[in-house]
Chains A and B, each alone.
Chain A
């Protein structure tokens, strides 16, 4: 079953209100919903929400034998799941297009952008490395699940602590957290994802074919906005202004001078803001934890 498309009044209303720069939740066009981050009792368990979109992420680590072609590198696998719990539009057992897109983007942003230093996950070359498993569950879909999932994933990685190991010769000793404080992962940077949705200035859908129509751009689209939009631009970058991923899969054609200001002005500023928020939340969480565990 295809997800039901929005009704004509909804579509007309959204297009006319966007033309007047109004959004249904009272946001500005280039304003994000306020993210919230909740930490669980376990290290590496995070729940993030953007408005009503909610994503849970959890990291766990175990020791494995590395593949022979990369004996010095640890492994990272990302499991993401969009279950029918998120929205009745998703069916159990069948991967939807959104799920494929989210999984691929998470892989690009979190794993292939080299956020985690894989060599630091090596314990004993060729014998023992850490295998990090990042599980992402989409709990509620209210638009822009990718940004939320990416935020949850990177915060979970930053929050996670692995047990300390000691290597003497070929002997590996794992110290439980009660004995020695667990260690944080060594992260090179914090890539964060932002999604822009584009709408044609004229409300008809036929405007896709004509290339020269002006578009309205919206940051962090809600569910209705993302089903009606004519294309997305996903940008992942870090607070150091380093661009990690840009993805634009189909949709309205955009010119250089439409994309560049979005990235250079909007995305950079938003990511800085978001990064500062993530850091402050992590710090708050440590303050609360210090009473119980010694954390390094």
Chain B
């Protein structure tokens, strides 16, 4: 409970209480405060609680997938800009099948799809491009060609939602590939340039930070686009 604002107290009691993003337990007390603005959500059995808001600046969290730009090589690894306050480190060996002898060679400026493996507030975030258990790529790695669309963090979450209408709708129109990062960056790929432009414009149109179109709005927008 913040001392400045008197807000409504929400009772959240559960044997197995889990706090998601935006919530913090005050040290040495049982009180929980919110650390960001947004709507409070909880799971059906009230065991998981989190705050959902919209922001443009990404704060890394472990296990989230992100799209980043390689800024520099440093030693064995790469420095990657993921749009957070600090650069992230990507180890050169954190790829599928990478060995000391055989490492992928990323150029400065390359796009990578990676998972945040370490996100600590006092340390630079670290990325990896494979699944640590299976050592398979699991879809991560360098993203070639295509285009990177920037959107708000809320939009990324919407795109991750399998029940959201946009990606199935676009997928029914043409073949495409998408890599959605949780950091407000979405890589899109299709055969034709016009299709990529169409995807980029649709994502921008649906973004709640922009026009915030619904399904019908996007359908009528698609009619005006030539792809």
The reply on B65 being an interface residue by CB < 8 A is no
Chain B residues, Cβ within 8 Å of A26: 197, 201, 225
Complex Cα–Cα for A13 and B149 (A): 12
User: Which segment of A1-9, A28-36, A91-99, A172-180 sits at the interface?
Assistant: A1-9
Chain B residues 136-153 with CB under 8 Å of chain A are: 143-148
Chain A interface residues (CB < 8 Å from chain B): 4-13, 16-17, 20, 22-26, 52, 88
- Other CB < 8 Å A-B pairs besides A7-B109, A16-B193, 18 of them? A4-B71, A5-B109, A7-B110, A8-B111, A9-B111, A9-B144, A9-B145, A9-B187, A10-B148, A12-B145, A13-B145, A13-B147, A13-B196, A17-B197, A24-B200, A24-B201, A26-B201, A26-B225
Within 8 Å by CB of A8, from B81, B109, B193, B200, lies B109
Chain A residues, Cβ within 8 Å of B143: 9
CB distance from A164 to the nearest CB of B (A): 44
Chain B residues, Cβ within 8 Å of A17: 193, 197
Is the pair A4, B197 in contact by a Cβ cutoff of 8 Å? Answer: no
The reply on B135 being an interface residue by CB < 8 A is no
Is the pair A11, B194 in contact by a Cβ cutoff of 8 Å? Answer: no
Chain A residues, Cβ within 8 Å of B110: 7-8
The reply on B42 being an interface residue by CB < 8 A is no
Complex Cα–Cα for A24 and B203 (A): 12
Chain B interface: which size bin?
Answer: 20 to 34
The reply on B57 being an interface residue by CB < 8 A is yes
CB distance from A31 to the nearest CB of B (A): 15
Complex Cα–Cα for A178 and B30 (A): 59
Chain A residues, Cβ within 8 Å of B41: none
The reply on B94 being an interface residue by CB < 8 A is no
Chain B residues, Cβ within 8 Å of A52: 210
Chain A residues, Cβ within 8 Å of B196: 13
Chain B residues, Cβ within 8 Å of A88: 57
Within 8 Å by CB of B201, from A4, A5, A7, A25, lies A25
Interface pairs (24), CB distance under 8 Å? A4-B71, A4-B81, A7-B69, A8-B109, A8-B110, A9-B144, A9-B147, A9-B148, A9-B187, A12-B145, A13-B145, A13-B146, A13-B147, A16-B193, A17-B193, A22-B193, A22-B194, A22-B197, A23-B197, A24-B147, A24-B197, A25-B201, A26-B197, A26-B225
Chain B interface residues (CB < 8 Å from chain A): 57, 69-71, 81, 107, 109-111, 143-148, 187, 193-194, 196-197, 200-201, 210, 225
CB distance from B207 to the nearest CB of A (A): 11
Main secondary structure of the interface of A (DSSP, over half): loop
Is the pair B193, A13 in contact by a Cβ cutoff of 8 Å? Answer: yes
Chain A residues, Cβ within 8 Å of B193: 13, 16-17, 20, 22
Query: What residue of chain A has the Cβ atom nearest to residue B68's Cβ?
Result: A7
Chain A residues, Cβ within 8 Å of B197: 17, 22-24, 26
Query: What residue of chain B has the Cβ atom nearest to residue A13's Cβ?
Result: B147
Chain A residues, Cβ within 8 Å of B145: 9, 12-13
CB distance from B218 to the nearest CB of A (A): 14
CB distance from B215 to the nearest CB of A (A): 20
The 10 closest A-B pairs by CB, nearest first: A8-B109, A7-B69, A13-B147, A4-B81, A7-B111, A17-B193, A7-B109, A9-B111, A9-B146, A10-B148
Complex Cα–Cα for A4 and B111 (A): 13
Complex Cα–Cα for A10 and B70 (A): 13
Complex Cα–Cα for A143 and B124 (A): 30
CB distance from A13 to the nearest CB of B (A): 4
CB distance from A216 to the nearest CB of B (A): 15
Complex Cα–Cα for A224 and B197 (A): 14
Complex Cα–Cα for A5 and B109 (A): 8
CB distance from A16 to the nearest CB of B (A): 6
CB distance from B158 to the nearest CB of A (A): 19
Complex Cα–Cα for A54 and B124 (A): 33
